[in-house]
Structure 1
Amino acid sequence: MPIVSLAKAKEHLNIDVADYDAELTGYLGAATEVVEHYVGAVEPRSLTERYSGAGTAELILRHPPVQAVTAVVENGTALAAADYSLSDSGVLVRMAGHRPRVWPYGRNNITVDCTAGRANVLDNYVLAGLIIIGHLWETQRGSGGSPLPGGSNDNMLFTPNFSFAIPRRAVELLQTSRIPGV
């Protein structure tokens, strides 16, 4: 699910027709992926992930933050909730009583069902998403530009907003809550 609704993106861009809905929908998905690259999962969603046991007690889940783990299957056997523990940072620890236990070696032998994302989407995530969507929109519409230095070809334009994918101001909004390792 996108971090920003189509209606909110159209309002931000001052678009009141449906002519561009398909194009904007692509931008919504792209902006969501960028935001989640910086801060981890945003909109809550259920995931099923497979991991390979490597003889350690910890599995680092791929989509932090994780709200809850709903099921863990190890080598075809469902584990009880007491058999694992989830840390705030999205690390799943195999437990034996009150002590960590090693996940068994194997290739894709551990399946984890979880809910990733946040209960509340922060305003800076939404604003960063809108900035990215606005930037993607502008790069498709063109906004003029200056001739390249020393160039005489009128078709050769230098437009600063074409030189990068993510505006710095969006990145700065996301840096305040970046999850280490994401």
Structure 2
Amino acid sequence: MPFDLGATVRLTADCLDPDGTLITAASAAVTVTLPDGTTAAPAAAETTVPGRYRADYVTAVPGRHTVRWIWDEPAHAYTDVFDVQEAAPPAILSLADAKAHLNIPADSHGDDGEVRFWNAATTRAVEYFTGPIVPRTITEDHPGRAAPVVVLRYTPVLDLVAVQAVRDGSTAYDVDTLDVNPTTGEVTLPGGGVLRGPLRFTYRAGRTVVAENISAGARIILQHLWLTQRAGRRGGLPGGGQDYSVSEPIPGLGYAIPNRALNLLEPDRLPPGVE
């Protein structure tokens, strides 16, 4: 499961001899390669179990990290990865709401990491149909041809932050002089005329209020994903198999989304061809 930005990741690995037996090495080193290509070398130490080593690394940037262990005498190596999520990862449901819907007691924390993972997957699934729900800042480039309208790729648009020239980053248009249609994402000049680029638009997209049908659809998707991954374990609602059934594949998502959730999301579904 992804780690929170700023959290300490306890890295563990076993030094094995050629026969696959745990063994104490003469030296041990671990290197963490960050998403930007820089590296860190947290101190590695043997635990109370001979041949088993650990190191603590404090996360500093979001993204995929690679971990490389090297031992000497005997020579052994091990590579692993871990992910660090954004400081404010998008999620339609809070952890408390997600646990309540899955009938997990609020004071039970053993499944929190897994619930958060499937909650994030649920958010992505909902936004596949509706566009951004959780507000976020988006930066995108548009080609250089002159046009009376530039259509931003993600809606609904909350506000336009900046419009810059792609070549040098200078301000191309004052955002206060532009009109933005929050529903369609269309950017125009109020008095007419054309926008000349290439242009880099920075804007915020999402919703300040999440409608009940979207929240309900998210809960159904979360429940469905939770049940399919935890067959026979606790956390499901009685009769959930029928309530959350998927009778036919959905283009782009297969059988991941129950039809009942899709029905709830229909009023806010993006028009064909709109992201």
Which category of TM-score, normalised to the shorter sequence, fits these structures? 0.7 to 0.9
What CA deviation, in whole Å up to 9, does each residue of 1:20-65 have, x standing for no partner?
1111111111111111111111122222222223332222212100
The Cα shift of 1:142 comes to 1.7
Q: Separation in 2 of the partners of 1:135 and 1:33?
A: 14
Structure 1 runs of 4+ with >6 Å offset:
160-163
1:148 equivalent in structure 2 = none
RMSD, matched Cα: 2.3
1:7 equivalent in structure 2 = 96
2:128 equivalent in structure 1 = 37
Q: Separation in 2 of the partners of 1:53 and 1:143?
A: 56
The Cα shift of 1:91 comes to 1.2
Tell me if 1:172 matches 2:267.
no
How does 1:105-124 map onto structure 2 within 5 Å? 109-124=198-213
8 Å Cα contact 2:147-2:196 kept in structure 1: yes
Q: Separation in 1 of the partners of 2:177 and 2:165?
A: 11
Larger RCO, structure (CA 8 Å, separation 6 or more): 1
1:92 equivalent in structure 2 = 187
* Structure having the larger proportion of residues in strand: 2
The Cα shift of 1:100 comes to 2.8
Go from structure 1 to structure 2 and tell me whether the alpha carbon gap of 1:84 and 1:161 turns closer, same or farther (over 3 Å shift). closer
Q: Separation in 2 of the partners of 1:87 and 1:161?
A: 35
Q: Separation in 1 of the partners of 2:219 and 2:261?
A: 9
TM-score, normalising length from structure 1? 0.79
8 Å Cα contact 1:139-1:161 kept in structure 2: no
What's the % identity of the aligned pairs?
Answer: 32
The Cα shift of 1:83 comes to 4.5
Equivalenced residues, count: 161
How does 1:146-161 map onto structure 2 within 5 Å? none
Q: Separation in 2 of the partners of 1:50 and 1:140?
A: 39
Q: Separation in 1 of the partners of 2:195 and 2:136?
A: 28
Q: Separation in 1 of the partners of 2:141 and 2:112?
A: 35
2:109 equivalent in structure 1 = 18
8 Å Cα contact 1:135-1:161 kept in structure 2: no
How does 1:41-60 map onto structure 2 within 5 Å? 41-60=132-151
* Structure having the larger proportion of residues in helix: 1
The Cα shift of 1:82 comes to 5.0
8 Å Cα contact 1:31-1:129 kept in structure 2: yes
The Cα shift of 1:74 comes to 2.4
Q: Separation in 2 of the partners of 1:168 and 1:12?
A: 18
8 Å Cα contact 1:66-1:90 kept in structure 2: yes
1:101 equivalent in structure 2 = 194
